Amino acid sequence: MSTIQDTAHRSGATALGGRGIHAVPTMPILSLEGLRKTYRDPMTLKPFTAVDEVTLELERGEIFGLLGPNGAGKTTTIKLLLGLARPTAGRVLLEGREPREPASRSKLGYLPENPCFYDHLTPLEYLDLTGALFGIAPAIRRRRASDLLERLGLGAHARKALRKFSKGMTQRVGLAQALMNEPRLLILDEPMSGLDPVGRSEVKALLREQRAAGVTVLMSSHVLAETEPICNRVGIMKQGRLVEVGTVSTLLQSGVREWEVAVEGMSDAVAAPFRAGGHDVERIGSRSVVRVRNGDSLQDVLRQMLQAGIHVHSVEPRRETLEEHFVRVLDGRTVARGGRS
Ligand SMILES: Nc1ncnc2c1ncn2[C@@H]1O[C@H](COP(=O)(O)OP(=O)(O)OP(=O)(O)O)[C@@H](O)[C@H]1O
Ligand SMILES: [Mg+2]
C-alpha cells in the first residue's frame, strides 16, 4: 500500500501550509486491497477462488489494461469493484467510498462484457434512460446522447430499434452509455470485442481523448496488440491472481529476443559461416538480415563482419511483444479454467 504522502506526490498535489509545503491527501480513484472472491459449488459446496489477493491502485489519468486468459478472474474483479458482487475478503474503494454507496458510482462509467439492452428502444431512447438514471437534466442528456452517437459513428442509426443492431453496433452503444455521465473512472470489460479494425482504432482514439481529459480507464482485453499502444500500465491475471503489474515498457524491457543485423551486399558464400554458426540469414534485395540470438554471439558476429569488410547498416534489438510476454508469463497455458470442478 502506498502512503498518503506518496499518493499525493504521484498526483503532484501540494499546498502551502502555515509553515511550508504540505502534501494534500488525495484519494486514489480506485484501490483494491487483498481482494478475494470464493464461489461455492451449489451441489458439493466445494470452494473455488475466482479472485485471489488482488491488490492494485489506479493512478489518475492512466489507462490500465487488465489481461489474462479466459477464466483468469478479470470480469469477477470488475464485478467486485463495481459492487455487483461482494468480496469474500479484502476491500474496494472508489475515491475513498465503498462501491455499494450509490454516490461512489455517480462518476463511474461501465461497459459490461456482453452488453445487451432493452431491444425495443432506440439508442437515443436508451441513452436518455441512462441519463435520467444518473439524474441528468433532459436537455443536457438529449444533447449528450446525440453527440455520443455521432462520435461513435451511430448518428445514422439513432432512431433504429436496438434489436436490429449488429454486435459491433451494440458494443458502440455500450460505450456511449458508459460515457453518458461524463465519468471520471471508466471500467470497460473487453471494449474491443466485436469491433472491426476501424472500430478498434476509433475506440483507441476515444480512450486517448478520455485520458487527455483526465479520465482514468480500466479495461480488460484479449486483444493484446491493441492494448500495447494505449495502456500506460498493464496487469496480468492468472488463476485469480495478479501475477505481474507494470508499464508495458518495463515488462518488455528484459525481453530482447534477438538482434537483427542488417548488412549490404553480402554474398551467399560470405553468409555461409553465419548460417553454419546457427544464425538465420534472410536476403531482401541487396540487403541481408542476420538474426543473432544472444549478446555474446552478437559481438563475435559483428567482429567477423567488420573483418570481412561487410558494410553493417544497422543493429536492432527485437523485443518481445506484449502478446509474446503474456504467453510466456502464462507458461504457454492459455486454456480456460473450469469454475466448478
Ligand atoms: N457466479 C459464479 N459462480 C461460480 N463461478 C463463477 C461465477 N462467475 C465466475 N465464476 C468462475 O470464476 C472464474 C473467473 O471467471 P471470470 O468471468 O472472472 O473470468 P474472465 O477472466 O473474465 O474470463 P474471460 O476472458 O473468458 O471473460 C471462472 O472459472 C468462472 O467459471
Ligand atoms: Mg470476462
Considering the domain boundaries, does residue 4 fall inside one? no
Q: Are residues 169 and 215 in the same domain?
A: no
Q: Are residues 231 and 276 in the same domain?
A: no
Q: How far apart are CA 229 and CA 211, in angstroms?
A: 13
Considering the domain boundaries, does residue 8 fall inside one? no
Considering the domain boundaries, does residue 154 fall inside one? yes
- In the predicted model, is pLDDT for residue 335 greater than 60? no
135 secondary structure, DSSP code? T
User: Residue written as cell 551467399?
Assistant: 268
CB 307 within 8 Å of CB 333: no
Q: Can you give the pLDDT at residue 223?
A: 83
Domains contained in the chain, number:
3
Predicted TM-score (pTM) of this structure: 0.80
Pocket test for ligand 1, best of 75, 82, 220 (most atoms within 8 A of CB): 75
Q: Can you give the pLDDT at residue 23?
A: 57
Q: Are residues 89 and 48 in the same domain?
A: yes
For residue 180, give the 3-state DSSP assignment. coil
* Run of H or E including 292: strand 287-292
Tell me the per-residue pLDDT of 273-314, one tens digit each, with 9 for 90 and over. 999 989 999 988 889 999 998 878 899 999 999 998 999 999
Q: Are residues 84 and 189 in the same domain?
A: yes
**Looking at ligand 1, which residue's alpha carbon is closest to its atom 2?**
39
Q: Are residues 177 and 289 in the same domain?
A: no
Tell me the per-residue pLDDT of 94-103, one tens digit each, with 9 for 90 and over. 999 999 998 9
Q: How far apart are CA 63 and CA 208, in angstroms?
A: 8
Q: Are residues 92 and 192 in the same domain?
A: yes
Considering the domain boundaries, does residue 1 fall inside one? no
Dihedral sign from CA coordinates of 179, 184, 188, 192: positive
* Run of H or E including 297: helix 295-307
Task: Tell me the mean pLDDT in the region 259-285.
Answer: 90
Q: Can you give the pLDDT at residue 21?
A: 56
> Where residue 339 sits, what CATH number does that domain have?
3.40.50.300
Least confident range from 17-31, 215-229, 257-271: namely 17-31
> Where residue 300 sits, what CATH number does that domain have?
3.30.70.980
CA of 68 to the centre of ligand 2 (A): 9
Least confident range from 6-15, 35-44, 147-156, 235-244: namely 6-15
- In the predicted model, is pLDDT for residue 7 greater than 80? no
Q: Are residues 215 and 249 in the same domain?
A: yes
Closest residue by Cα to residue 86 from 125, 137, 35, 49: 35
Q: What's the pLDDT band for 333 if we cut at 50, 70, 90?
A: very low
Q: Can you give the pLDDT at residue 22?
A: 57
Domain boundary among 154, 182, 210: 182
Ligand located closest to 339 CA: 1
Q: Can you give the pLDDT at residue 25?
A: 56
Tell me the backbone φ, ψ of residue 338, rounded to 5 degrees.
Answer: -75, 140
Strand partners, 51: 37
Q: What's the pLDDT band for 149 if we cut at 50, 70, 90?
A: very high
User: Residue written as cell 458482487?
Assistant: 85
Task: Tell me the mean pLDDT in the region 207-231.
Answer: 93
CA of 99 to the centre of ligand 2 (A): 20
Tell me the per-residue pLDDT of 156-212, one tens digit each, with 9 for 90 and over. 999 999 999 999 999 999 999 999 999 999 999 999 998 999 999 999 999 999 999
CA of 218 to the centre of ligand 2 (A): 13
Considering the domain boundaries, does residue 62 fall inside one? yes
Q: Are residues 155 and 117 in the same domain?
A: yes
- Which cell is 53 given? 489477493
Q: What's the pLDDT band for 26 if we cut at 50, 70, 90?
A: confident
Q: Are residues 46 and 64 in the same domain?
A: yes
Q: Are residues 232 and 332 in the same domain?
A: yes
- In the predicted model, is pLDDT for residue 5 greater than 60? no
**Looking at ligand 1, which residue's alpha carbon is closest to its atom 24?**
70
Considering the domain boundaries, does residue 10 fall inside one? no
Tell me the per-residue pLDDT of 50-63, one tens digit each, with 9 for 90 and over. 999 999 999 999 99
Considering the domain boundaries, does residue 16 fall inside one? no
Domain boundary among 167, 182, 197: 182
Pocket test for ligand 1, best of 36, 38, 39 (most atoms within 8 A of CB): 39
Q: Are residues 301 and 266 in the same domain?
A: yes
Domain carrying residue 153: 108-182
User: Residue written as cell 493512478?
Assistant: 59
Domain boundary among 182, 204, 231: 182
**Separate counts of helices (H) and strands (E) for the chain:** 11, 15
**Which atom from ligand 1 is nearest to the alpha carbon of 79?**
18
Beta strands 185-189 and 108-111 are: parallel
* Run of H or E including 246: strand 241-247
Higher pLDDT, 79 or 327: 79
**Looking at ligand 1, which residue's alpha carbon is closest to its atom 17?**
75
- Which cell is 301 given? 558476429
Closest residue by Cα to residue 151 from 205, 196, 115: 205
Considering the domain boundaries, does residue 19 fall inside one? no
Least confident range from 198-202, 238-242, 332-336: namely 332-336
Q: How far apart are CA 296 and CA 137, in angstroms?
A: 67
Q: Are residues 49 and 92 in the same domain?
A: yes
Ligand 1 pocket, Cβ-based, cut-off 6 angstroms = 39, 50, 68, 70-76, 113, 337, 339
Task: Tell me the mean pLDDT in the region 261-281.
Answer: 90
